[in-house]
């Protein structure tokens, strides 16, 4: 990263302010006379120095230099300018005698993260990107595959529901991570998911495609589960929802990449198969991730312990929530391409354009929702996202023309806020030795809700005059969940996992030890 050089003319008080250790984006500690290094922050190397010369008027000419390297593998170029600007702004404010803001920069986690957490977050983002592509692959291609194999909407509905059986594999993998560790299963699952997904390119019929993608979907679901668990176990208490939002943005980018290449399906009746080969390009990235990703500190602390009891009340609450949300959201997502192709007459290229233009703004909802969920609490953000997101999404299936585009975009932005606000509860509400198992069960019930919703829409869309009419029946799910969130969910913002799960905090040990 380039050196940051700043020049100041300050009085004695200004010099004292510049010479004090910082506690902003990077927390400093002295390293000899006129030099400071990082005690904590998202940096691999950091050194700040002051070269002071007296001026004729009794003030001081100060040359301040900062040398640092970010601990953000793969994504460091995206943060070079924001980090430089934030650190330079701190210095200029101090030199001018202006107070520093209490909060971290808007784009950073609400709590300062250390080198390890920043590195892990970046690595998990790569895995989330891969998982996002794999998770939407069958959704984006099923309408073309069914057409190639002379199927109908009922066949499409059946395949989309059947691939969700793969969640049983996700449950097994998530539970195994409580015993064998997060890292090993995370890396193995990512590699296997890519390999299994690629076999879809060879499918001679819907049975082959459905079977191969059932296994691949189970692996990609397990990948998403483990990514969320690792993020929760590594990030500070005040930044867990932020971490979920970053994972969601990365997964959304991966899903968007699948949409970007969807026009390839227009090249010929079998061109959709190309989309199943593209994930193989990610295998070299996994090699570097494997070299850098550590086991989580919390799992290391509790390795070998007997499985802790899982609170059945919490488990039931989150499982029912997953069912209610998925019974609407899954068919709304899975049938969108079919709706656009058959009811609105869109080509593959136009479907791709619609999806990109209406879902890309969802990143705003994810980012804002994650920060607000950490700073102001989870429940209100989640309830607003559920009601507003589901409502506008339904409208997009009921109206034609530009209102359809607008409603879809607004619904995507509002609904996206629920991703960090609700997604963080799964890892937060269960102890380390039962976290994977509990989240696997919650996901299993959520997938049952997805399958139920898909089957309902598949059966009711023709009698009710289209997919929109069938979705209207399922709107009760997210509305009921919004009430449940406000009435029954605990507030978990700013609380350590050990505070939320006393079984993880034996006497004399309230939090895991810091990294070496």
**In this structure, what DSSP letter does residue 22 have?**
P
Which among 129, 173, 167, 146 is positioned nearest to 278, based on CA atoms? 129
Residue pair 224/177 in contact (Cβ under 8 Å)? The answer is no
| Distance (Å) of CA 386 to CA 4, 123, 325, 333, 412 | 44, 30, 8, 15, 11
Percent of the chain whose predicted confidence (pLDDT) is above 90? 63
> Residue 516 above 50 pLDDT?
no
> Residue 114 above 90 pLDDT?
yes
Q: Which two tokens stand for residue 310?
A: 């899982």
Name the CA dihedral angle for 423, 425, 426, 432, rounded to a multiple of 10 degrees: 130
- Please give the pLDDT value at position 505: 74
Q: pLDDT confidence of 1, banded at 50, 70, 90?
A: low
What's the pLDDT tens digit per position in 220-245? 999 999 999 999 999 998 899 999 99
Share of the chain residues as helix, strand and coil, in percent rounded to the nearest 5? 70, 10, 25
What's the pLDDT tens digit per position in 9-65? 999 999 999 999 999 999 999 998 889 999 999 999 999 999 999 988 889 999 999
- Please give the pLDDT value at position 506: 64
Please name every residue paired with 124 in a beta bridge, in sequence order, or none if there are none: none
- Please give the pLDDT value at position 338: 83
Which among 101, 84, 92, 81 is positioned nearest to 23, based on CA atoms? 101
Residue pair 310/175 in contact (Cβ under 8 Å)? The answer is no
Percent of the chain whose predicted confidence (pLDDT) is above 70? 97
Which among 267, 263, 175, 237 is positioned nearest to 428, based on CA atoms? 237
DSSP symbols for 263-332: GGGGG-TTGGGGGGTGGGGGHHHHHHHHHHPPPPHHHHHHTTPPPPPP-HHHHHHHHHHHHHHHHHHHHH
> SS3 for 67?
strand
> Residue 206 above 60 pLDDT?
yes
> SS3 for 101?
coil
Q: Which two tokens stand for residue 41?
A: 């922050």
| Measured CA angle at 453 (ends 342, 451), to 5 deg | 105
What's the pLDDT tens digit per position in 251-285? 989 988 998 888 888 888 899 999 999 999 999 99
Q: Average pLDDT, whole number, for the chain?
A: 90
> Residue 514 above 70 pLDDT?
no
- Please give the pLDDT value at position 316: 95
- Please give the pLDDT value at position 51: 93
- Please give the pLDDT value at position 162: 78
| Measured CA angle at 12 (ends 8, 17), to 5 deg | 70
Q: pLDDT confidence of 321, banded at 50, 70, 90?
A: very high
Which among 280, 128, 281 is positioned nearest to 199, based on CA atoms? 280
How far is it, in rounded angstroms, from Cα 358 to Cα 509? 48
> SS3 for 491?
coil
Please name every residue paired with 53 in a beta bridge, in sequence order, or none if there are none: 61
> Residue 161 above 80 pLDDT?
no
- Please give the pLDDT value at position 224: 94
Sign of CA dihedral 430, 191, 323, 208: negative
Helices (H), 97-205: 115-148, 153-162, 167-180, 182-198
> Residue 508 above 50 pLDDT?
no
- Please give the pLDDT value at position 2: 61
CATH of domain 115-329+340-491: 1.20.1250.20
391-394 contacts, C-beta under 8 A, 24 or more apart = 391/475, 393/332, 393/471, 394/332, 394/468, 394/471, 394/472, 394/475
Which among 374, 440, 290 is positioned nearest to 112, based on CA atoms? 374
**Rg of the chain's alpha carbons, rounded to an integer?**
25
Mean per-residue pLDDT, 398-406 = 91
> Residue 69 above 90 pLDDT?
yes
Mean per-residue pLDDT, 450-471 = 87
| Distance (Å) of CA 157 to CA 93, 162, 331, 471, 499 | 59, 8, 9, 14, 43
Residue pair 161/454 in contact (Cβ under 8 Å)? The answer is yes
| Measured CA angle at 141 (ends 136, 144), to 5 deg | 165
Q: Residue 508: which residues within 8 A CB-CB, separation 6 or more?
A: none
């Amino acid at each position: 990263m380039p050196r940051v050089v700043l020049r100041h003319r300050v009085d004695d008080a200004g010099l004292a302010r510049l010479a004090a250790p910082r506690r902003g984006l990077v927390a400093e500690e002295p390293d000899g006379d006129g030099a400071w290094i990082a005690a904590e922050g998202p940096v691999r190397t950091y050194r700040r120095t002051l070269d002071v010369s007296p001026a004729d008027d009794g003030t001081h000419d100060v040359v301040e230099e900062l040398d640092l390297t970010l601990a953000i593998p793969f994504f460091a170029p995206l943060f070079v300018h924001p980090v430089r600007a934030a650190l330079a702004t701190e210095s200029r404010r101090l030199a001018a005698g202006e107070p520093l803001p209490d909060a971290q920069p808007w784009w950073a986690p609400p709590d300062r993260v250390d080198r390890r957490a920043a590195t892990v977050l970046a690595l998990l983002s790569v895995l989330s990107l891969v998982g996002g592509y794999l998770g939407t692959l069958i959704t984006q291609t099923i309408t073309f595959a069914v057409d190639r194999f002379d199927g109908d909407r009922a066949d499409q509905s059946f395949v989309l529901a059947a691939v969700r059986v793969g969640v049983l594999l996700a449950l097994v993998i998530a539970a195994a991570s409580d015993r064998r560790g997060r890292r090993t299963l995370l890396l193995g699952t990512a590699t296997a998911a890519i390999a299994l997904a690629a076999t879809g390119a060879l499918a001679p019929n819907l049975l082959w495609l459905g079977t191969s993608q059932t296994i691949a979907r189970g692996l990609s679901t397990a990948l998403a589960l483990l990514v969320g668990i690792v993020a929760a176990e590594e990030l500070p208490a005040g930044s867990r929802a932020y971490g979920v939002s970053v994972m969601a943005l990365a997964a959304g980018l991966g899903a968007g990449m699948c949409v970007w290449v969807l026009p390839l399906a227009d090249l010929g009746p079998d061109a959709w198969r190309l989309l199943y080969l593209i994930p193989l390009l990610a295998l070299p990235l996994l090699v570097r991730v494997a070299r850098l990703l550590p086991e989580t500190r919390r799992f290391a602390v509790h390795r070998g312990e007997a499985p802790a009891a899982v609170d059945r009340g919490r488990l039931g609450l989150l499982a029912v929530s997953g069912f209610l949300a998925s019974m609407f959201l899954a068919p709304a997502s899975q049938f969108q391409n079919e709706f656009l192709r058959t009811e609105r007459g869109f080509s593959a290229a136009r479907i791709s354009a619609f999806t990109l233009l209406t879902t890309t703004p969802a990143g705003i909802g994810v980012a804002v929702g994650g920060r607000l969920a950490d700073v102001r609490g989870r429940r209100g953000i989640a309830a607003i996202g559920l009601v507003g997101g589901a409502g506008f999404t339904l409208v997009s299936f009921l109206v034609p023309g530009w209102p359809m585009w607008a409603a879809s975009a607004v619904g995507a932005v509002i609904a996206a806020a629920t991703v960090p606000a609700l997604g963080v509860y799964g890892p937060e509400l269960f102890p380390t030795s039962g976290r994977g198992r509990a989240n696997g069960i919650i996901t299993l019930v959520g997938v049952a809700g997805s399958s139920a919703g898909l089957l309902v829409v598949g059966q009711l869309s023709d009698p009710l005059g289209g997919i929109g009419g069938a979705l209207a029946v399922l709107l009760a799910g997210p509305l009921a969940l919004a009430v449940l969130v406000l009435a029954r969910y605990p507030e978990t913002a700013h609380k350590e996992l050990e505070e939320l799960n006393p079984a993880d905090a034996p006497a004399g040990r309230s939090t895991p030890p810091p990294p070496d």
